[in-house]
Structure 1
């Protein structure tokens, strides 16, 4: 029986789970107040704080030996999907050369430290947000100087694609699947026979709880001139979507407004569903062949009203399955388990030019 620790650091929390083989023993979330973290200038300055709390949690649950630890991958840069061995070059890259600063960049170093204390030092990250197996044709835009990049909720969406395949009694590599993750941020992916060949990120099409989605250039250029690029970025990434209309990220509040007869809420809700459906339809044509199943995941997938709306709009493409919430800890643990069981080989990244 193999014991795997999964570690998922977020902006103000660290989620930790322990699995024995495919069975969850327990999972907990360590919560931090913003004031607790503001004193740290850089994300990696939080390492000792978070590690100490993880170790305390493991000790409280009487964890004395593990076979491996798996952390969230962070913004590594373009990599193939699957497991990546945690080594010093990878940790160094995430600390000093990440694509963006984000708490998930700590996942590799935390997993390595936990594995060194409780196991044999083997640690991995799995399906980072920068997984990139996009087809070349999907990278091009209408402006030569700008190419599309693959940043999305890959960890959760690949986990959901695997779950849908299992539910259909088929192999992931035999199916064509479109997955939409809808929450605070929103992204979607096209899976062609086990490869993520195209994605839609949260600045391209559908809007989410606090993200703008795609915006018309002719309208946003004057707006940026008016408020400035820094302020626009804050709004588009944190104060847009449902927040811009109703001051909340909670879809349940919007649905309550609809039930009370609020016509604007009904219209915005319908536009949200339309954006999700357009995204699914767009990704469907990236896949060579018929779509076997469409999957909705993320927090908003808990809304029966939203699921019904999207299913009605996309029914001509494929049947819809829902996987509400997220499965990131499970995906990390099972990914690590496949590696130590010899079912999957981990990538090894060296970053020799950064030494």
Structure 2
């Protein structure tokens, strides 16, 4: 079965056409920096610069470069599945309505995920569409870690995100370490425009930095991560600022350095920009703090995994984030860490107590795999999504 995977993110759309059972990648690419002046569409090794005004324009450009294809299914990354979606499901109008109702919990993602589904439905009528949820992997978080100390009638909890990425890299770490997944403890650092840390025990998520929404936790491209909950009221009282919008779209690296892309932040820091330098230090300090916290949660850590665009490609972020953790058995090998390799690799010292791994995530492959499973088993009907 050939599956077209659409991974519609807050500022990018990745896509891949995959023959799942053979593993063959038939086409792939990405549209980056959607809504910015300097956008980019990279397809099968070639690249086109341009401006993609919004996600629908980006998706239309992708369909144009793919040409006359006939996928047997389309798999969509959907960020927030709430309480209802604990596995991938075939899309119907009930699923779409449920995803839209959850948009206040993932305002940068669920609305554009729905755009991706609608565009694909029009482009490929009659082809099964499958929603694969980022939150599903984290439904194993125990109540003491998922529960906020707020009135139960609010009906809120920690959901967690980047689940497809965590599931994929955890399996790959098991293979690299030569250990069964059920026997190892991992800390997964997914660092991209969105960023999260996850504690994985025996293949199951037991805690994660993102919470009710994808705003909590690490510093991100335009999201603040952890702040004092009193900040929202303070901003409303003193400045008349909508905190949700400000903390989601105008904070993070953008607020500290003036740009949201870590590549540009690093360039500016290397040129002596003090704001960019501070932004990187804040970013890495937050990562290091979460690593220490999840070490305590797990009790024993076999490996720390860096993945996502920043985690895979920014050696300095890896070094800064792991600095000072030597007494916990976390020691990077500078030569390994700085090596230009882009594949799966260890960047820690040989035979170190805790392996530090760089594992390029493959959310598209994981989405394709779950899409195939969902098509074969069928899915809940409309009434199950209430």
Q: Sort the TM-score into its range (normalised by shorter chain).
A: 0.7 to 0.9
- Aligned mate of 2:362, from 327, 331, 339: 327
Q: 1:94 aligns with which of 85, 99, 111?
A: 99
Cα distance in 1 for partners of 2:268, 2:13 equals 33
1:103 Cα deviation after fit:
0.9
Distance 2:148 2:8 in 1: 33
- What is the alpha-carbon root mean square deviation over aligned residues? 3.5
Residues 172, 22 of structure 1: CA spacing in aligned structure 2 closer, same or farther, 3 A cutoff? farther
Q: Is the 8 A contact 1:311 1:319 kept in 2?
A: no
Aligned length: 332
1:5 counterpart residue number:
4
Q: Compared with structure 1, are the counterparts of its residues 88 and 243 closer, same or farther at alpha carbon in structure 2 (3 Å cutoff)?
A: closer
CA contact (8 A) 1:84 1:349 kept: no
Cα distance between partner residues in 2 of 1:51 and 1:246: 29
Distance change in 2, residues 1:128/1:7 (3 Å): same
Unpaired stretches in structure 1, ≥5 consecutive residues: none
| Superposed CA offset, 1:286-344 (max 9, x none) | 33x522211122222221111112233445163221235x532222123334556x7xx
Aligned partner of residue 5 in structure 2, secondary structure: strand
Which of 289, 296, 300 matches 1:290? 300
Alignment of 1:42-61 (within 5 A): 56-58=64-66, 60=67
Greater RCO between the two (CA within 8 Å, min separation 6)?
1
Structural mapping, 1:263-278, within 5 Å: 265-278=276-289
Q: CA deviation at 1:163?
A: 2.3
Cα distance in 1, alignment partners of residues 231 and 79 from structure 2: 33
In the alignment, what sits opposite 1:186? 195
For 2:13 and 2:229, locate their aligned partners in 1 and report how far apart those are by CA, in whole Å: 37
Contact 2:89 2:132 in 1 (8 A): yes
Specify the SS of the correspondent of 2:215: coil
Aligned mate of 1:134, from 141, 151, 155: 141
Secondary structure in structure 2 of the residue aligned to 1:152: coil
Query: What is the rounded CA distance, in whole Å, between the counterparts of 2:318 and 2:158 in structure 1?
Result: 28
Within the candidate set 165, 174, 177, 1:168 is matched to 177
Q: Is this contact kept in 1: 2:197–2:218, CA < 8 A?
A: no
Contact 1:157–1:297 (CA<8 Å) still a contact in 2?
no
1:147-190 deviation digits (Å, cap 9, x = unpaired): 43214222223222222222223343443222122222222222
Q: Describe the SS at the equivalent of 2:96.
A: helix
Give the TM-score of the pair, scaled to structure 2: 0.72
1:210 aligns to what SS in structure 2? Answer: coil
Partner in structure 2 of residue 22 of structure 1:
23
- Match for residue 84 of structure 1? 89
Superposition deviation, residue 209 in structure 1: 2.4
The answer to whether the 8 Å contact 1:69/1:114 transfers is no
Secondary structure of the corresponding residue to residue 351 of structure 1? helix
User: Are the counterparts in 1 of residues 193 and 261 from structure 2 also a CA contact under 8 Å?
Assistant: no
Q: Is there any run of 5+ residues in structure 2 with no aligned partner, and where?
A: 37-50, 105-109, 330-353
Mapping 1:175-324, distance limit 5 Å: 175-201=184-210, 202-217=214-229, 221-230=233-242, 232-262=243-273, 265-287=276-298, 289-301=299-311, 302-315=313-326, 316=328, 318-323=354-359
C-alpha deviation, 1:116, in angstroms: 5.2
d(CA) in 2 for partners of 1:260, 1:281: 31
Shift of 1:74: 4.2
Does the 8 A contact of 2:257 with 2:279 survive in 1? Answer: no
Q: In the alignment, is the contact (CA less than 8 A) between 1:182 and 1:298 conserved in 2?
A: yes
SS at match of 1:16: strand
Higher deviation after alignment, 81-90 or 233-242: 81-90
Residue 185 and residue 259 in structure 1: after superposition, are their counterparts in 2 closer, same or farther (change >3 A)?
same
